[in-house]
Amino acid sequence: MFTLGCDRAYLYAHPERNLTTDERARYEAALSERAGGVPAQYITGHQEFWGMDLIVTPAVLIPRPETEHVIETVLELAKTQKSEKQGCPPHTVRIVDVGTGSGCIALALAHELPHAEIRAVDVSGAALEIARVNAARHQLEKRIHFQEADLLAGCEDNFFDFIVSNPPYVGESEEDEVQLEVRKFEPRGAVFAGPSGLETIARLIPQAHAALRSRGWLHRSGRRGTAGCGRWRELRQRQIGHVAVLHLLDVFQFQRMLLRRQWQSGQQQSQGDGAGVVKEHAKQCTPKKEPPINADGRR
């Protein structure tokens, strides 16, 4: 289908169709690239996410199905989220996708939450161009504000209801555990965070704490079972402060962590303000055996 530029229905309807010389050359070139380890998504330039066909290039990570758990969780929480009346119109939810890459998370949330204000941030101008193209292809370019910035630099304090991020968190010491095609073809800065893997998260947490409105949520991806777990607990205690913390596992037992900023210092989260919704949603994610770090730098 990629070689001919047609859909599956066309192939079924024209079984007698032979490849031209140019088409055969294109097909063989694609096979050669794949044999050399190039991800199929970079060869075709497309990847599906949340029912949307997205453009992908080596400037962005390839969206993965497990990242859809982020969308599911935010949607569940948004049902119970009540906007505060501090300069924000009623029923307006403000969301920022930090490290948007292809824009997959921001686009999916914009599609599902038509009244939300959504911002997509990335330090890479090349990645933002791809995200903008994807937004235009799905008629969502007017719904999302794209911003080139390092994490939440320049963002307003006490502004967002949800901060969503799938940041780099693989340590350079773990490079041998990452598939060769990830190390060789995907953007290194979107996979590796530094020597320990906590460098990006260490900067993101205090910025998120300032940018979140009271009772706002930070949803970030994490990992389990690594040498960095003890350092992460220490980091969390030092930088997060008085917030509620929920740890969820997706279908691969991959840790998705939710941090909620509280109204007052030390106030505990109640079942009625989203915790029950998240825990019930987590029960639906039946854990499976954890895979190795794969083609998006995730386990």
Query: How confident is the model over 158-215, as pLDDT tens digits?
Result: 899 999 998 998 889 888 888 889 999 999 999 999 998 889 988 998 898 899 888 7
Q: Is 292 domain-assigned?
A: no
pLDDT of residue 262: 55
Q: Is 39 domain-assigned?
A: no
| Element spanning 260, H or E | strand 255-261
Helices and strands (DSSP H and E) totals, the chain:
10, 11
When pLDDT is cut at 50, 70 and 90, the band that residue 92 belongs to is confident
Q: Is 198 domain-assigned?
A: yes
User: For residue 174, how many other CB atoms are within 10 A of its CB?
Assistant: 18
Q: Is 18 domain-assigned?
A: no
Nearest 10 degrees: CA dihedral of 160, 162, 168, 171?
100
Residues in a beta bridge with 117: 94
- Predicted TM-score (pTM) of the model is 0.81
The pair of structure tokens assigned to 93 is 């939810």
Q: Is 1 domain-assigned?
A: no
How far apart (Å, rounded) are the C-alpha atoms in residues 186 and 124?
A: 14
Q: Which CATH number belongs to the domain containing residue 138 in this structure?
A: 3.40.50.150
What lies within 8 Å, CB to CB, of 85 at 6+ separation is none
When pLDDT is cut at 50, 70 and 90, the band that residue 260 belongs to is low
Q: Is the separation of the CB atoms in 171 and 193 below 8 Å?
A: yes
Domains contained in the chain, number? 1
pLDDT of residue 85: 46
Over residues 72-93, the mean pLDDT reads 70
Q: Is 50 domain-assigned?
A: no
* Domain with 195 in it: 59-283
Q: How far is CA 88 from each of CA 83, 131, 262, rounded to the nearest angstrom?
A: 7, 26, 19
Nearest 10 degrees: CA dihedral of 106, 111, 115, 118?
10
How far apart (Å, rounded) are the C-alpha atoms in residues 129 and 253?
A: 33
Q: Is 247 domain-assigned?
A: yes
Look-up: residue for tokens 């962005």? Answer: 60
When pLDDT is cut at 50, 70 and 90, the band that residue 147 belongs to is very high
Is the confidence at residue 234, as pLDDT, over 80? Answer: no
Over residues 219-230, the mean pLDDT reads 55
Q: Is 213 domain-assigned?
A: yes
Q: Which of 22-31, 72-81, 92-101, 215-224 has the lowest mean pLDDT?
A: 215-224
pLDDT of residue 288: 43
